[in-house]
Amino acid sequence: FGPQRLSGQNVVVTAGGTQEPIDPVRYIGNRSSGKMGYAVAQAAVAMGANVIFISTRPELPVPAGLHKMIYVETAAQLQGTVSSVFEGADVVVMAAAVADFKPAQYVTHKIKKQPNTTEMQLTLDRTPDILATLGQQKTHQFLVGFAAETDDLLQHAQTKLAAKNVDLLVANDVSQHDRGFGVDQNAVTLLQPNAVPETLALADKSVIATQILERVAELLA
Ligand code: PMT
């Protein structure tokens, strides 16, 4: 124990929102800034872990002390990258906001407005659920998922905890302006199978990240 509580652990962290291209200039995205995932990666390094960090945000400064930094854009790329490092991982933290749908077809040129039309239809396909797939495949890995909800937070989070077979689920309310997407603070509830949920009060994402990883270290010990 002590400050190096994750020493020797191989920890994979994902951060940011995926971007699903429509054409060369447009994409379907979401409001994730990557801040929560960056805070988790930094806290994991501070706790002595070997961190593989997978991010969609190349414009952000690279956290110091990483084992490896990998950039991706789409849910499919994120899935391919996470799968390639999964076997060697002890802990995977899925803080990335992964698109649930992507354009069914990528158009290779910029889509032009059609004269005299006021609407356009876009057909979307489901993306793979990366975390649920890891939940089915895991052998020794400890899986941490997030749940971003706007209503019935605990109920939806409990459903995700079970459906995705994760060991720890971090539920956050993304309907309020002082927490969740884009801002420096968060307030979360930690859920585990067969345990009473614990709420962590509004605090800097760095503090929340450390609290999440302390729980992980406790459960691994
Ligand atoms: O990046 P910030 O601006 O700091 O904001 C932080 C955050 C709100 C994005 C973060 O705290 C958070 O909640 N991340 C998860 C967002 C999300 O995709 O939640 P979800 O409830 O839709 O998905 C549940 C879990 O399944 C997540 O761990 C997600 O990574 C994973 N998932 C979801 C869909 C999918 N196709 N594959 C997945 O692996």
- Can you give the CATH number for the domain in which 43 is found? 3.40.50.10300
> Ligand 1, from 13, 20, 32, 124: best to mutate by most atoms within 8 Å of Cβ?
32
- When pLDDT is cut at 50, 70 and 90, the band that residue 2 belongs to is low
Query: Cα–Cα distance between 203 and 134 in angstroms, integer?
Result: 29
Kindly state whether residue 177 falls inside one of the protein's structural domains: yes
- DSSP class of residue 136 equals H
Which atom of ligand 1 is found nearest the CA of 100?
36
Kindly state whether residue 189 falls inside one of the protein's structural domains. Answer: yes
Structure confidence at residue 39 (pLDDT): 98
Q: Is residue 72 part of a domain?
A: yes
Tell me the residue range of the domain where 77 lies: 10-105+122-220
Alpha carbon of 108 to ligand 1 centroid (Å) = 29
**Where are the strands (E) in 85-213, listed by range?**
91-94, 101-103, 124-126, 142-149, 168-173, 185-191, 198-204
Residue 4 placed within a domain: no
Q: How many domains does the chain have?
A: 1
Q: What is the mean pLDDT of residues 115-139?
A: 96
165 CB contacts (<8 Å, ≥6 apart)? 132, 135, 136, 138, 143
Q: Which of 28, 78, 94, 190 to probe ligand 1 with, by most ligand atoms within 8 A of CB?
A: 94
Rounded to an integer, what distance in angstroms lies between the CA atom of residue 45 and that of residue 24? 36
Which amino acid residue places its CA nearest to atom 23 of ligand 1? 147
Mean pLDDT score, 3-22: 96
Span 18-28, average pLDDT: 98
Enumerate residues 6+ apart whose C-beta is below 8 A from 11: 44, 49, 50, 51, 52, 89, 90, 91, 92, 93
Q: What is the mean pLDDT of the chain?
A: 97
> What are the residues whose beta carbons fall under 8 Å from the beta carbon of 104, sequence distance 6 or more?
123, 124, 125
36 CB near ligand 1 (under 6 Å): yes
Name the residue among 1, 65, 83, 73 with its Cα closest to residue 32: 73
Give the three-state DSSP class for 82. Answer: helix
Q: Where are the beta strands (DSSP E) in 80-177?
A: 91-94, 101-103, 124-126, 142-149, 168-173
In a domain, 116, yes or no: no
What average pLDDT score do residues 96-114 get? 96
pLDDT(1) > 70: no
**ipTM of the assembly?**
0.99
* 191 Cβ closer than 6 Å to some ligand 1 atom: no
The SS3 call for residue 97 is strand
Query: What tens digit of pLDDT does each residue of 25-71 get?
Result: 999 999 999 999 999 999 999 999 999 999 999 999 999 999 999 99
Give the pLDDT confidence of 128-168 residue by residue, as tens digits.
999 999 999 999 999 999 999 999 999 999 999 999 999 99
Residue 159 belongs to some domain of the structure: yes
98 lines ligand 1 (CB under 6 A): yes
Percent of the chain scored above 90 by pLDDT?
Answer: 96
141 domain-assigned: yes
Q: Is the CB of 127 under 6 A from ligand 1?
A: yes
